Copies of this chain bind each other. A is one copy, B any other.
Amino acid sequence: MISRVLSAELAEHAGRRVTIAGWVHRRRHLKSVSFLVVRDRAGLAQVVHGHPGPARTAGDHTGNHTGGYAESHVESHVEGAPAAGGGLPGEESVVRVTGTVTLQPQAPGGVELTEPEIEVLAEPGTPPPFDLYRPVVPASLPTILDHAPVALRHPRLRAPLEISAASVAGFREALDRLGFTEIHTPKIVGSATESGANVFGIDYFGRPAYLAQSPQFYKQAMVGVFERVYEVGPVFRAEPHDTVRHLAQYTSLDAELGFVTDHRDVMAVLRQAVAGMIESVRHRAAPAVGLLGVALPEVPAEIPAVHFTEAQRLTSSDEPDLAPAQERWLSEWALREHGSEFLFVTGYPMAKRPFYTHPDPARPGYSNGFDLLFRGLELVTGGQRLHRYEDYTAALAARGEPAAAYEGYLQAFRYGMPPHGGFALGLERWTARLTGAANIRETTAFPRDLHRLSP
């Protein structure tokens, strides 16, 4: 391994000669001195070349040095004064720099490398399509997405992906603690059953097949095996609408558990999962949270819940589903009344839920299904499922669906299944809500949509 210390560790080596490696984030020349800002996976490091006087820095920057990428606005005070090459490698060159770690309160992390020896490991053939060192990338979202491999190097653009990775780690950790087992299920399925619409067709060895829209049927079957299962994996929706909220492929965090009393047990597990995700983001993605100024929500010990009929009453509606404006209103209401950024809406009408939804035994027109609203949007859908074979055949018959198409699915229920339920949370939607991203495409490295199939 190329022997090096990370930028974030430099301060621990003050006075010593060390080697760092990374990309040239910014190159600048002043009269008698040149600066390189080197970017590595941990943050930024300043390298000084030449014989500077006592009172100069690369960006004359002030304010707190919180480490990480907080100093990516290093150049903001010298706008309009770019300098030519002068022998130092240009932006996005890959370099290894050996230098003396010297205290410099105004540099990122409070230290800089002086008396540097610079070795270029790789030279970019082309300058970046936009300046990666600016605080915000000066390009439109389509341009950014077209250049994702280089654009994502920008600290603000990679930050949502760090938050996303930390969220998934927290999800798994929380469920592992609760005795869940991770599963991997087929993404190629033989029939387009779950919703019928919006599926991608595949040529499967000459036979028609489809990309799975969710692991719903498989995770339910696996409750019969492990009782408690989760899967983190891609799901596919041939979504024909071009919106800021939909992707053709997204990462679904799915969980399903058996031996529940009803949907409230599922909600309690979901609450644990969400709390674990937030805690993980707080600890694992602190620099990204700081850089984006994300306000992490508190997860109440018990997330407030309103029944669908109560939600209707509160919003003076008699529609069988909640419109986006109502979801926003309810979220604000929950914050006002309960001090919670999360709100469960339970008991959605059966007619609006999938056939495998368990009805509320006390009010059969309403379901034991729920949504979790977060900051004005539906984030998670879940509920208790039917668990008796005869309930499935009756539910399918009532909807005029042929039971034969569901034979593989129904098999699990022929052989004894416990009361169970589960939920699905879209990772990109979660990250978008958390970071305030205006477009879900900012929360995944290489989005797929109606128009976009590369890079």
Contacts and interface: CB of A to CB of B under 8 A. Distances in A.
Interface residues on A, range: 35 or more
A4 B209 CA distance: 42
A203 B200 contact: yes
A370 to B, nearest CB: 16
Contacts of A413: 125
Nearest to A191: B454
A419 interface: yes
Contacts of A224: 23, 149-150, 152-153
Contact of A427 (B92, B184, B453): B184
Given A221-B149, A408-B455, A448 B238 contact: no
A93 B168 CA distance: 35
A128 interface: yes
A455 B203 contact: no
Q: Tell me which of A191, A248, A416, A417 has the highest count of chain B C-beta atoms within 10 A of its own C-beta.
A: A416
A222 interface: yes
A4 B200 contact: no
A59 interface: no
Nearest to A411: B149
Interface of A: 1-2, 4, 21, 23-24, 40-41, 92-94, 121-126, 128, 147-150, 152-153, 158, 161-162, 164-165, 168-169, 172, 176, 179, 181-191, 200-205, 207, 209, 211, 218, 221-222, 224-228, 233-234, 236, 238, 240, 248-249, 251, 259-261, 265, 268, 387-390, 408-409, 411-419, 427, 444-446, 448, 450, 453-455
A414 B126 contact: yes
A272 B94 CA distance: 26
A20 B218 CA distance: 25
A24 B416 CA distance: 9
